[in-house]
Chains A and B, each alone.
Chain A
Amino acid sequence: MKTVVEIKNVKKRIGKKEIIHGISTKLYPGEVFGFLGPNGAGKTTMIRMMVGLTKVSEGQIFINGHSITTDFEKAVRHVGGIIENPEMYKHLTGYENLRQYERLFPDPLPAGRVDEVVKLVGLEKRIHEKVKSYSLGMRQRLGIAQALLHKPSLLILDEPTNGLDPSGIREIRQYIRRIAKEEQMAVFVSSHLLSEMQLMCDRIGIIQNGHLIRVEKTEALVHSGNQEVLINAAPSSKVKDLLGDRSYQQTEDGFIVQAEKDELPELIRYLLKHDIDLFEITPIKKTLEDSFLQMTEEDSYAYAQTAAK
């Protein structure tokens, strides 16, 4: 498959301190790739390197086959983005702002492209007003409009739903998914909001302390880790005995037991054979948040261990 972005063992050092420790990954057309990590993990630094705002200390980033370091203009020609907040020239109108970005491209964009993107983000009514009168949501839309102006093959959005209300978030999310598929664009989204990423992304890379610790399909990530089931049964003293050395946790709703899916029939038969009243047995659906916390905890634990050595 064609790759839109190839990140090869990228490192970033500021002074002597290394803040990105060799990240590699690829992005393909039509996919939404989530870059997930706590604040300060290196998401924005990575994004800044991808658009050439910050120099790459080591390694390489290719966009449509062009290196961002040695072939900046060709590489960045295919990139559109919002880096953190969509800051615009406040003393100009929304339309004038878009015209500014239009003129920054060496080969003129097709006539009417500006009006097209204005329509796309639904800003027709207010586009001729000065940006200082815009709400945050409108600025976000204008930001997306400028990012899409030149039909990029890579769209980079740093925390795109920052400061938006729930309906705005939903709108942006649906919109991002749609254009990724329709335009066969690769979308690189960063966020620390896990629930958000779960709904928006096809694949998710988890970054922590400058390491890309995992890249998985969203589905796989959500269902990874140990599966847990809730077993509501009585009498509880007997259940405890029967569970024996399985790891479990007693709660108000019953027992939360660690068990893989294929172990379940066996477990249920075993409990029923011993005359247990079984009221409920439910697999606990993990959210990305749970997986994420679990993973990053394991990771920090591993760090602490190595640090101790």
Chain B
Amino acid sequence: MHTLRLLQNEWIKLVKKPSTIVMGSILVVLVATLTVFVATFDDLAFWEFVNQASSLYAIVILFSIIAGGSTVASEFSNGTIKLLLIRPVKRVKILAVKFFVVVLFGSLLLLILAGATMLAGGLAFGFEPLFINGENQLADLGETYVLYAVELVVYAAMAFTISTVFRSNSLAIGLSIFLMFVGPQLSLFASRYEWAKYLLFANANLTQFKEGRVMLDGLTIEFSLAVLAAYLILFAIVSWQVFQRRDVAV
């Protein structure tokens, strides 16, 4: 199938980039360092550690922002866009495939994170059974990671859209990372206004509902999912329209 071959193309371009290999290595090294650090000062139970260490997912989002912010922009800055867009493939398809590969890459990093923390946790603190007090711990962890994945898709889409519109990876990556860290604070400052709960950053972190520490009053997971879906649709329309209409002159 043609779409599969297009996916293969984008995947090869992404994973063969030196920076991608560096990202993967950094993630594994971070997990190892964290494990050694925690094991020196503390004695945690296995599942406790794995759950705490999952907060490294912020790094994965950061890497996904980098991948999402450069996939389109780098084709422009390298000039390869000219050879990419003169093939019998609709522009919208190229764009969709590119975004899908970014999400795939982010998800793979999340899996690596989960695998690495479990392995390192087991080695440092000893493995624990799957069920504790009749609860499936792995399923619980999986749920957390699914919520992380949604956040990842939203931020990657934001970086992807900025980079498609401005064709600059540094702007896309810089702005997205800035918003990712500052956004939630902004939402808190704005919390006395009604519109604050429609901000992307107030809704992006879905684990707030699982942990019961909801950022703004009145937020529910259903509401947040609806807001995020609206943002994703907006990002999709903007990047598609801009990419479709753009005159390529690089």
> Could you tell me which A residues sit within 8 Å of B by CB distance?
14, 48, 51-55, 72-74, 76-77, 79, 81, 83-92, 96, 100-101, 103-106, 146
CB pair A101–B83 under 8 Å, yes or no, is: yes
Contact of B88 among A74, A88, A90, A146 (CB under 8 A): A74
What are 9 inter-chain pairs, A to B, with CB distance below 8 A?
A: A55-B247, A74-B88, A77-B88, A86-B83, A89-B13, A91-B17, A103-B6, A104-B5, A146-B83
Residues facing A in B117-176 (CB within 8 A) are none
Q: Give the complex CA separation of A258 and B248 in angstroms.
A: 48
CB pair B248–A87 under 8 Å, yes or no, is: no
Chain A residues with CB below 8 A from B8, complex form: 103
CB pair B82–A100 under 8 Å, yes or no, is: no
> Which residue of chain A has its CB nearest to the CB of B86?
A51
Contact of A53 among B6, B17, B86, B88 (CB under 8 A): B86
Contact of B82 among A53, A92, A96 (CB under 8 A): A53
CB pair A79–B248 under 8 Å, yes or no, is: no
- Tell me whether A87 and B80 are in contact in the complex, defined as CB-CB below 8 angstroms, given that A76-B88, A79-B86 are known contacts: yes
**Which of B5, B13, B87, B249 is the most central at the interface, judged by chain A CB atoms within 10 Å of its CB?**
B87
Contact of B249 among A54, A73, A100 (CB under 8 A): A54
Beyond the given pairs A48-B247, A53-B82, A54-B249, 18 more chain A to chain B contacts, judged by CB atoms under 8 angstroms and listed by A's residue number, are: A14-B247, A55-B245, A76-B87, A83-B86, A87-B78, A87-B83, A88-B80, A89-B78, A92-B12, A100-B13, A101-B83, A103-B8, A104-B5, A104-B9, A104-B88, A104-B89, A106-B88, A106-B89
Residues facing A in B1-49 (CB within 8 A) are 2, 5-6, 8-9, 12-13, 16-18
> Could you tell me which B residues sit within 8 Å of A by CB distance?
2, 5-6, 8-9, 12-13, 16-18, 78-80, 82-90, 245, 247-249
- Tell me whether A81 and B86 are in contact in the complex, defined as CB-CB below 8 angstroms, given that A91-B18, A92-B12 are known contacts: yes
**Closest-CB distance, B114 to chain A (whole angstroms):** 29
Chain B residues with CB below 8 A from A88, complex form: 80, 83
Contact of A76 among B5, B17, B86 (CB under 8 A): B86
CB pair A104–B84 under 8 Å, yes or no, is: yes
Q: Give the complex CA separation of A35 and B120 in angstroms.
A: 65
**Closest-CB distance, B230 to chain A (whole angstroms):** 30
CB pair B9–A48 under 8 Å, yes or no, is: no
> Which residue of chain A has its CB nearest to the CB of B2?
A106
CB pair A54–B9 under 8 Å, yes or no, is: no
Q: Give the complex CA separation of A146 and B85 in angstroms.
A: 13
CB pair A100–B78 under 8 Å, yes or no, is: no
CB pair B245–A104 under 8 Å, yes or no, is: no
**Closest-CB distance, B71 to chain A (whole angstroms):** 12
Chain B residues with CB below 8 A from A48, complex form: 247-249
- Tell me whether A104 and B6 are in contact in the complex, defined as CB-CB below 8 angstroms, given that A48-B247, A52-B85, A79-B86 are known contacts: yes
Q: Give the complex CA separation of A152 and B86 in angstroms.
A: 12
Q: Give the complex CA separation of A132 and B158 in angstroms.
A: 31
CB pair A87–B6 under 8 Å, yes or no, is: no
Q: Give the complex CA separation of A103 and B5 in angstroms.
A: 6
CB pair A89–B86 under 8 Å, yes or no, is: no
Q: Give the complex CA separation of A76 and B94 in angstroms.
A: 15
Q: Give the complex CA separation of A74 and B88 in angstroms.
A: 7
Q: Give the complex CA separation of A222 and B222 in angstroms.
A: 75
> Which residue of chain B has its CB nearest to the CB of A103?
B5
Contact of A91 among B16, B86, B249 (CB under 8 A): B16
Chain A residues with CB below 8 A from B12, complex form: 92, 96, 100
Q: Give the complex CA separation of A81 and B249 in angstroms.
A: 15
> Which residue of chain A has its CB nearest to the CB of B245?
A55
> Which residue of chain A has its CB nearest to the CB of B20?
A91
Chain B residues with CB below 8 A from A55, complex form: 245, 247
Chain A residues with CB below 8 A from B80, complex form: 87-89
Contact of A100 among B9, B17, B79 (CB under 8 A): B9
Chain A residues with CB below 8 A from B88, complex form: 72-74, 76-77, 104-106
Chain B residues with CB below 8 A from A96, complex form: 12, 16
Q: Give the complex CA separation of A72 and B16 in angstroms.
A: 31
- Tell me whether A92 and B16 are in contact in the complex, defined as CB-CB below 8 angstroms, given that A73-B90, A79-B86 are known contacts: yes
